[in-house]
Amino acid sequence: MEFDPMSRLIVISNRVSAPKGQSGAQGGLAVAFQAALREYRGIWFGWSGEPTDEFTGQINFQRSEGVTTATVDLEAQDIDEYYNGYANRTLWPLFHYRIDLAEFERGFEDGYQRVNERFADTVRPLIEQDDVVWVQDYHMIPLGHELRKRGCNNRMGFFLHIPWPPRRLLSSLPHAAELVTTLLAYDVIGFHTDEWLEAFRDYVTLDLGATMSEDGTIHLGDRSVKAIACPIGIDTKEFVEAATSTSARLTYRRMRDSADGRDLIVGVDRLDYSKGLEERFLGYERFLVDHPEQRKEVFLLQIAPPSRGEVGSYQRIRATLDALSGRINGAYADIDWVPIRYVNQGFPRHVLAGIYRAARIGLVTPLRDGMNLVAKEYVAAQDPEDPGVLILSRFAGAAEQMKDAVLVNPYSAEEMSDAIVQALAMPKDERIRRWRALMDGIEEKDVLWWRRRFTQELMGDDDSLAVAEQDKGA
Ligand SMILES: O=P(O)(O)OC[C@H]1O[C@H](O[C@H]2O[C@H](CO)[C@@H](O)[C@H](O)[C@H]2O)[C@H](O)[C@@H](O)[C@@H]1O
Ligand SMILES: O=c1ccn([C@@H]2O[C@H](COP(=O)(O)OP(=O)(O)O)[C@@H](O)[C@H]2O)c(=O)[nH]1
């Protein structure tokens, strides 16, 4: 298929930029697209994060840092049923293997469908003949199908940023087959890992009766869809620069001064049950119990900005962590030392960069995670001469690429404790060797690699995308 060299990239996602007052808590998707979209002409469309009394479909265009965003406000009922409901009470827990937390309500399903139709009605007039459309994540699975119904024949891709669950688990979702079938309206479907890709192939071949050709193309009825694994990266170059900026240096110094010679272990996660924070605190407690001689030699800084606070399971995990951090600090603290600094606040990434660099250990232990960009940022921020050690959950998508981290089972407090001991004792040459291997990976497959890899699959030729105005002639 031939493409106009001036094709624009239309990215559609629920989250376009951080809601007011929540800077730092927007998660990896928004962060990744700020980096990836700066390079090309196009529009980034989605929800503003704001409520409105009545949905009008009025679009608010903004241009900031080289990216044009187009956002709409949603009614309170839409937000409740679509975002807090189907997206975050039904799909998110189920896709993160937490069927015990998944809520199945018809009202959520209806609201999800309604909002996807509203998005389709609103964005359709913005899409020109030669544009390429790229829809993001579990909030918008049926959007492509809705756009096709509205006569959109453009090339369309979909990327899932969270895990794809095993077939038997997905089967517990009412109308799973109908939902997954809508995905076949896209031309290319992307996942972060081979594991999620395999699980998707299992579902469409075994439950939907699709067939697969040798190159991995999936066929069902008159649809042929390419499904690929395409791991997202960070803006590595920018992050390395951020880690050595004046601001990061100041944060680094502040952290080192406050550490008072102790080793800093850092965790940075949205406050989400999928991030394994409760298990992390228990694993750290096990380390304190089993190694009393090391107690005052280290401390854990856990940064956990609140997320999705209107959803009950998020309120409960917050209360659990408040109690658990309080109990551990009460039990082990001394007059001059506190084992856990637990901070429910988001920080800008240039501050995080300084904190990562000051930390001897990056503790990234989700129970299940689509990718996890914090793991990659921690590595990018390290001092090449004296890098820290990444402890990474086997169940983060990032683990498929980051084999030189110290990999752990996050459910095992003993493994977590052993990993902390191993990381603290790790000789410098081994730290450097592991860091170099991890860094090579995140330099090679950064966020621009990810965007190019996906759009190449979608368009055959990434060069046909129109370059952003500010980049022309550069
Ligand atoms: O928009 P929110 O409800 O505040 O949630 C933030 C984002 O969380 C999820 O992020 C995922 O995408 C990351 C980048 O690919 C990936 O590294 C991480 O493992 C995922 O959890 C969610 O999928 C996004 O849509 C949200 O914007
Ligand atoms: O206080 C914070 C906490 C997190 N983040 C950023 O949020 C993203 C989190 O992405 P990740 O893929 O790790 O997880 P997600 O939250 O998307 O599930 C990373 O880029 C972090 O640097 C941030 O800017 N400030």
- Model confidence pLDDT, tens digit, residues 103-115: 999 999 999 999 9
Of 4-13, 251-260, 334-343, 451-460, give the lowest mean pLDDT range: 4-13
Pocket lining: 192 vs ligand 2, CB cutoff 6 Å: no
pLDDT value at residue 463? 57
Pocket lining: 306 vs ligand 2, CB cutoff 6 Å: no
Please give the angle made by the CA atoms of 278, 198 and 230, to the nearest 5 degrees.
80
Of 133-142, 154-163, 270-279, 461-470, give the lowest mean pLDDT range: 461-470
Q: Is pLDDT at 4 greater than 80 in this prediction?
A: no
Q: Is pLDDT at 390 greater than 60 in this prediction?
A: yes
pLDDT value at residue 473? 32
**Rounded to 5, what percent of the chain is helix, strand, coil?**
45, 20, 30
Atom 18 of ligand 2, nearest CA residue: 27
Round the CA-based radius of gyration of the chain to a whole number and report it.
Answer: 22
H or E element: which one contains 256?
helix 246-259
Q: Is pLDDT at 438 greater than 80 in this prediction?
A: yes
Which CATH architecture describes the domain 236-444? 3-Layer(aba) Sandwich (3.40)
Collapsing DSSP to helix, strand or coil, 244 comes out as: coil
pLDDT value at residue 461? 60
Pocket lining: 397 vs ligand 2, CB cutoff 6 Å: no
User: How many percent of the chain have pLDDT more than 70?
Assistant: 93
Catalytic residue positions, numbered: 161, 369
Over the chain, what is the mean pLDDT?
A: 93
> Confidence class of residue 468 from pLDDT cuts 50, 70 and 90?
low
> Confidence class of residue 344 from pLDDT cuts 50, 70 and 90?
very high
Q: How many helices (DSSP H) and strands (DSSP E) are in the chain? A: 17, 16
25 or 128, which is more confident? 128
pLDDT value at residue 245? 95
Q: Is pLDDT at 423 greater than 90 in this prediction?
A: yes
> Confidence class of residue 460 from pLDDT cuts 50, 70 and 90?
confident
Ligand sitting nearest the alpha carbon of 348: 2
pLDDT value at residue 64? 78
Domains in the chain: boundaries = 9-233+447-464, 236-444
> Confidence class of residue 24 from pLDDT cuts 50, 70 and 90?
low
Ligand sitting nearest the alpha carbon of 36: 1
Atom 9 of ligand 1, nearest CA residue: 27
With beta carbons less than 8 A apart as the criterion, state whether 270 and 411 touch: no
CB atoms within 10 A of CB 87: 23
**Which ligand 1 atom sits nearest the alpha carbon of residue 373?**
17
Alpha carbon distance 219, 155 (integer Å): 17
> Confidence class of residue 422 from pLDDT cuts 50, 70 and 90?
very high
> Confidence class of residue 6 from pLDDT cuts 50, 70 and 90?
low
Ligand sitting nearest the alpha carbon of 374: 2
pLDDT value at residue 444? 98
**Which ligand 2 atom sits nearest the alpha carbon of residue 345?**
1
Judge whether 9-233+447-464 and 236-444 match in fold.
Answer: yes
Q: Is pLDDT at 472 greater than 50 in this prediction?
A: no
Pocket lining: 370 vs ligand 2, CB cutoff 6 Å: no
Alpha carbon distance 123, 459 (integer Å): 21
Q: Is pLDDT at 207 greater than 90 in this prediction?
A: yes
CATH top class, domain 9-233+447-464 = alpha beta
Report the pLDDT averaged over residues 77-91.
98
**Which ligand 2 atom sits nearest the alpha carbon of residue 268?**
3
Alpha carbon distance 134, 42 (integer Å): 11
pLDDT value at residue 203? 98
Find the 348 Cα to ligand 2 centroid distance in Å: 10
* DSSP E strand stretches across 279-383: 298-303, 340-343, 361-364
Q: Is pLDDT at 33 greater than 50 in this prediction?
A: yes
Atom 16 of ligand 2, nearest CA residue: 27
Collapsing DSSP to helix, strand or coil, 270 comes out as: coil
Sheet holding 223-229, edge to edge: 60-64, 67-75, 42-52, 9-15, 132-136, 156-159, 188-191, 223-229, 217-220, 211-212
With beta carbons less than 8 A apart as the criterion, state whether 96 and 74 touch: no
Find the 31 Cα to ligand 1 centroid distance in Å: 9
Could you give the dihedral angle defined by the CA atoms of residues 358, 394, 170 and 181, in that order, rounded to the nearest 10 degrees?
70
Q: Is pLDDT at 78 greater than 60 in this prediction?
A: yes
> Confidence class of residue 34 from pLDDT cuts 50, 70 and 90?
confident
pLDDT value at residue 462? 54
Alpha carbon distance 420, 426 (integer Å): 10
Which pTM was predicted? 0.95
